[in-house]
Amino acid sequence: MWVSGSIGFLTIVAGNFYVPVSTDLGVSESSLGFYMTLVCIGQAISFPIAGRLVPKMNIPVHMTIICAIEAAAAVAMSLYGDLFMWYVSGAIIGLCMGFNTSIGVAIVLENWFAKKDGFAIGMAWGFGSLANAIMSPIITNVIATSGWRTGYVVLGVTSAILMCGASLFIVRLKPEVIGLLPYGYEQKTESIHVEDPTDGVSFRDAVKSPAFILLLVAMTLITMTTVTNQLFTSFAESVGYGAGMGGLMVSVAMICDILWNPLIGITCDKFGADKGVLLWCGVTILSFVCLTVGATIPAFAFLGAGLNDTMYACYGTGVAMLTAFLFGNKDYAKIYSLVPAIGYALGCMGVPILTGIYQATGGYGPVWLFCIGCDVIIGLCVIIAARNSKKLPRTE
C-alpha cells in the first residue's frame, strides 16, 4: 500500500497526465516532466534522513503525517495553472517518498522477517506493480471523461487512502510493538548461538570500505540502465514496428515486474543476495540480447521487454537484500539509506546517456551493448564486494 500509493501512483501512473496537462497549459511535455526530476532529487535528499528517522518512528503518527502531505501535494495539482507549482509539488512528493518507499519498506520488513525477508520485500514491490497496472487505465478513463483536474483528485485521494490506511491501521515498525516476534525468529540458548538481529558492520567501518564503494557503483549503473522501458516506444518506431507495439512492450514489462520482484527475493533468500543478484544480472544481459534480435523478429522484442524488468526489480528488492548481506543489520538503516540516495544522484543521467548513444549511432544496437557492459560491471562489483565484506570487523 505504501509502494503503490507513493512511488507507483505518483510517478508511474502520473505519467498519464503529461499530454493532457501540457496541452491544456500550452507548455512542452519536457517542461512539465521536469517536476519528476525534482521528485528524484527530493528522494535523494530525504533517503539519508529517512535512514536515521524511520527506525525511531511511531508509524501511525509520523508516517501518516508524511503520507498525508505527499497525497495532498498530488491533489493540489488539480488547482494549479502555473507550471512552477508542479515543481513545488514534485519536490514535496520526492521528500516524502524517501520515507515510505525503498527505505521505509526495507527497514520495516527487515524488522518483521528474520527469515525470507527478501521474499517479503519482493512481494511488497510486486503487489505495488499490480496496483499500478490496475490504476493506470482507471486514471486514463477518468481523465478522458472528467478531465485531468478531476483525475488528480482521484489519484491523490486513492493514494491517501492506501498510504494513510496502511500507516494508521496495519504497519508497525517492529512486531514487538504488538507483542509478536519476527517471522522465523530463533531464540538464543546458552549452548547455541543464533545470529543476533543487530550483528553486523558499523556505519563508520562500512562507508569507508571498498565493498560500500563497489555497492554504490553497482547501484549507479542499475539506476542508469533501469530506464530502458522508457525507450521501448522509441525503439519500436526506430525499427519500423510503430509506437503501438512500443506501448505493448511497456505493458509486458510492467506485468512481468509483478512476478520478478518476489522471485528475486526468493532467490536472494535461497542462494544468498550476492548470488541472487548475479543470477538476475545474467537474465538482464539475456534481455538485451533478445532486444537486439528483436529489431528484426518482433517476438524477441516482447521477450526482451519482459525479461528486461528484472534489473528494475533488483533495484528495489535485490539491492536492499545485498546491503544486508554485505554489512549485516547493526547499522542497516543508515548504510542502506545512502545507497539509493547516491545512486539516484549519480545515475539520474541514464535517459540522456542512452538516447545520446542512439542519436550518435543511429540505432539501438549500441545502446543495448552499452547496457550489457554495465550489467557485466555490476556483476563484477557484486563479486568483489562480497569478498571484501567478509574482511570487515563485525560486532554483536
One digit per residue, the tens of pLDDT, for the chain of length 396 reads: 999 999 989 987 887 888 789 889 998 877 887 888 788 889 889 999 999 999 999 999 999 999 999 999 999 999 999 999 999 999 999 999 999 998 899 899 989 998 888 889 889 988 888 888 888 889 888 999 999 999 999 999 999 999 999 999 999 999 999 999 999 887 643 433 344 455 789 999 999 999 999 999 999 999 888 878 778 878 888 899 987 788 788 778 878 888 888 898 899 889 999 999 999 999 999 999 999 999 999 999 999 999 998 887 787 788 888 999 999 988 888 899 899 888 877 777 777 788 889 889 989 999 999 999 999 999 999 999 999 999 999 876
Residue 53 sits in a domain of what CATH number?
A: 1.20.1250.20
Q: Are 156 and 296 found together in one domain?
A: no
* 58 part of a folded domain: yes
Q: Are 230 and 168 found together in one domain?
A: no
* 186 part of a folded domain: no
Q: Are 170 and 208 found together in one domain?
A: no
Residue 167 pLDDT:
97
Q: CB–CB of 305/291 below 8 Å? A: yes
* 183 part of a folded domain: no
Q: Are 139 and 256 found together in one domain?
A: no
Q: Are 163 and 218 found together in one domain?
A: no
Residue 191 pLDDT:
39
* 196 part of a folded domain: no
Q: What is the extent of the structural domain holding 256? A: 203-389
Q: Are 227 and 317 found together in one domain?
A: yes
At 200, give phi and psi (nearest 5°). 155, -175
* 256 part of a folded domain: yes
Domain boundary pick from 174, 194, 216: 174
Say how far apart CA 152 and CA 129 lie, in whole Å.
20
C-alpha cell recorded at residue 346? 549519480
Global pTM reads: 0.78
Q: Are 168 and 210 found together in one domain?
A: no
Name the domain count of the chain. Answer: 2
Q: Are 24 and 98 found together in one domain?
A: yes
Q: Are 141 and 216 found together in one domain?
A: no
Q: Are 371 and 276 found together in one domain?
A: yes
Q: Are 42 and 156 found together in one domain?
A: yes
Q: Hey, which residues does 328 pair with through a beta bridge?
A: 200
Say how far apart CA 301 and CA 297 lie, in whole Å.
7
Find, among 169, 197, 201, the residue nearest to 184 by Cα.
Answer: 197
Q: CB–CB of 334/52 below 8 Å? A: yes
Radius of gyration for the chain, computed over Cα atoms and rounded to the nearest angstrom: 21
CA dihedral (253, 256, 257, 260) positive or negative: negative
Which phi-psi region, left, alpha or beta, contains residue 182 (left: φ > 0; alpha: ψ -120 to 50)? beta
Say how far apart CA 108 and CA 171 lie, in whole Å.
8
* 179 part of a folded domain: no
Q: CB–CB of 94/43 below 8 Å? A: yes
Question: Alpha helix (H) ranges present in 54-197?
Answer: 64-76, 83-100, 102-112, 117-146, 148-169
